[in-house]
Chain A
């Protein structure tokens, strides 16, 4: 059973702070890792993907991957109330055509 685990939250951070979202996965052969953002009542939107160990930055977002620890995280700098949403971690296990999603972490950024 391929699994992706996330803390359901809510994670509450003040505006301007760094939000740190974490995800662990079970399949050591996984090669591709994704973060999606889902606003209430809307469909998921791709924020970032990462394939290699280390950090990948895109604007206020940084994805971090550690394959040895089977751990992927998303940092959101200068958090804004508009970042309040559920963040879904998704992993593509080796040999799979589909993504395995975590249950999501709800982020609340308060003014």
Chain B
């Protein structure tokens, strides 16, 4: 089956630092990847759509300068949370779209805690 990995799975950082999260599609090529955020007991919230070789498309209300997305290859997208603050603490999940199957597969998620 389609496998998507994320690294790191868990990160704790100090307020003001930047954190980079990697998302990889391991056995298929993904021209499109998606980044979600989920707070405890709440729904998935789409943050942005990442297209290989072009700029990401951000959802309304998501600060593009704070959440930097790079999709440099067909198997890798990165999300950088810049100048993180405690309110950025959340569960960040990526998904990758398998173009041929037209389905999305999720990575295992990254739990970010900002102190």
A residues at B contact (CB < 8 Å): 32, 34, 36, 42-46, 49, 88, 90, 92, 97-99, 101, 103-104
Contact = CB atoms under 8 A, between A and B. Distances in A.
A5 B107 CA distance: 24
Nearest to B34: A98
Interface stretch (B12-20, B71-79, B98-106): B98-106
B49 interface: yes
A34 B95 CA distance: 14
A42 B108 contact: yes
Contacts of B93: 43-44
Interface string B44-74: 1010010000000000000000000000000
Given A43-B109, A97-B32, A98-B34, A88 B44 contact: yes
Contacts of A49: 103
Nearest to B102: A32
26 contacts: A36-B106, A42-B108, A42-B109, A43-B91, A43-B93, A43-B106, A43-B107, A43-B108, A43-B109, A44-B93, A44-B95, A44-B106, A46-B103, A46-B104, A46-B106, A90-B104, A92-B102, A97-B32, A98-B34, A98-B49, A99-B34, A99-B104, A101-B43, A101-B44, A103-B43, A104-B43
Contacts of A92: 102
Interface residues of B, number: 18
Contacts of B108: 42-43
Contacts of A90: 104
Contacts of A88: 44
A101 B46 CA distance: 9
A90 to B, nearest CB: 8
A74 to B, nearest CB: 16
B43 A34 contact: no
Given A34-B103, A43-B93, A46-B103, A98 B46 contact: yes
A49 B1 CA distance: 14
Nearest to A99: B104
Contacts of B32: 97
